[in-house]
Structure 1
């Protein structure tokens, strides 16, 4: 049997490569001779840089920047053989850099992501591909823009504070001291969702809670982003309010379009092309994918949905694995998913599930392939 394993990461738990490895372990318990092809698919979040470097070659650059709470952190990005820089914002501004009790989208900033961009431009990279999954932020990209020279004064002319909680205080956008290299740099944004900036499907409402926002804070953040979008529209003549993908990474999608001239493209499409994923799907007998949580939102461009479209196109059965199945996951059965399995095998705390995720992945894969083996014997 030829098996293709093409998962995304399990947020706060395992990167995509580790998920692939543990699924393969479970399969080999049942089918020791199975031919397994693993293509970890990071579509813009954690592991995006390594996915691109593995597919194309290049070098990794380590750099000390600010984390989401403006503490020093050693982050990284990649430079491909053609001189293109590949950045994952999660390396500098990601949610996994914070403990759960530290998560506060009113305070967290994308400044470190802007520092990575500035360093890549300084090194001569005239094209940057930036993946924006896995963020801890909801600042609309204000921090990123600050690192590139934009200034955001309040009504008294003072700099506003950091984070999404201060966006409503911005009275204008001062671009008089912007990094001159920015105008010479092509920015391609690997965006894994299609959410608009605000509203019930916007950055704050959909992703704010996992970043530490209460319902009251979600409402505040949403209003702040709407104000920020209005200032961008007035001062830069760019409408980011309803742009699909503008709500990604707490509005960093909107910020990269507005302040860096970025072009949003589905992160999965970028990785699919570079890794030749479709060719691998065609060669497989069965395809496996997965992500930490799968629900109705998975259809908004998430990695498992992208893999499912390829499997459906080429008539391949697709098995998905998730740490948690949320509302609407059954809708995925009409989208190319053959079956979807949640990992917990009994009552368990979140911490326990995270700790035991490697074993749970391997065990669940083993059970699935025992059924397949019996069905085909």
Structure 2
């Protein structure tokens, strides 16, 4: 982790302009799995540090460090950093740091964008590759899955991409997930007709971990009966 107090210096990123120029003739495309920005409450550290085992104090330090780094590269590229960011008490980072996908993979999306990459939703890339829209057009119900169906699921992930294409075809979408952490209002606003959890209590979670395939198959069978004509 780079300290925001000066672990990285302007000279350390001075060569970024030259690197971008060398890559200017290369088409770089970065496919992200979640459309979060680099910084902020749902950014690389604010949204995911706790999930990876960081304490709140470590998450704050990570946020400051990322903000410091983004500020330096903004200066190196001649980007106006603007007014202070109230969240971290530091100058606002370049606009690039607020772009969708820059916070994906711990900020890897931001790094690729610095090199001139165009960031696109990975779910959209895969949907196009497999002809998802055409496949959906011929069915009566779409079932998509997720480990934990939470706020991340509706930020560029597979569930959101599938539901959006099914909605265009007027086909209902239901989500089958290990756990559901969203309310009806949130997932229905995304065009989802139903959300079903494999486990909803501590006992059910323990049972699902002991027999994942069996409990998933049982929940899928109950879902099928619910939506059968």
TM-score, normalised by the number of residues in structure 1: 0.51
Residue of structure 1 in register with 2:2 after alignment? 166
CA gap 1:218/1:329 in 2 versus in 1, 3 angstroms: farther
Distance 1:314 1:324 in 2: 27
Residue of structure 1 in register with 2:97 after alignment? 241
Distance 1:241 1:314 in 2: 34
The Cα shift of 1:328 comes to 4.4
Distance 1:194 1:209 in 2: 18
Residue of structure 1 in register with 2:118 after alignment? 263
Moved over 6 A (4+): none
Distance 1:204 1:179 in 2: 26
Distance 2:134 2:189 in 1: 23
Distance 1:209 1:261 in 2: 30
The Cα shift of 1:167 comes to 5.1
Larger deviation, residues 185-194 vs 359-368: 185-194
Distance 1:351 1:234 in 2: 51
The Cα shift of 1:194 comes to 2.4
Residue in structure 1 matching 2:132, options 268, 271, 277: 277
Distance 1:193 1:346 in 2: 27
CA gap 1:349/1:372 in 2 versus in 1, 3 angstroms: closer
Superposed CA offset, 1:115-174 (max 9, x none): xxxxxxxxxxxxxxxxxxxxxxxxxxxxxxxxxxxxxxxxxxxxxxxxxx2253110214
Distance 2:3 2:48 in 1: 18
Distance 1:232 1:224 in 2: 12
Distance 1:355 1:183 in 2: 51
Residue in structure 2 matching 1:201, options 12, 30, 42: 42
Residue in structure 2 matching 1:359, options 214, 221, 224: 214
Does 2:21 align with 1:185? no
Residue of structure 2 in register with 1:25 after alignment? none
The Cα shift of 1:244 comes to 2.3
The Cα shift of 1:226 comes to 0.3
Does 2:176 align with 1:321? yes
Distance 1:346 1:216 in 2: 30
Distance 2:20 2:118 in 1: 19
Residue of structure 1 in register with 2:66 after alignment? 225
Distance 1:267 1:337 in 2: 20
The Cα shift of 1:178 comes to 5.6
Residue of structure 1 in register with 2:160 after alignment? 305
The Cα shift of 1:193 comes to 2.3
Distance 1:183 1:167 in 2: 31
Cα RMSD after superposing both structures: 2.5
Residue of structure 2 in register with 1:290 after alignment? 145
Tell me, which stretches of 5 or more residues in structure 2 are unaligned? 80-93
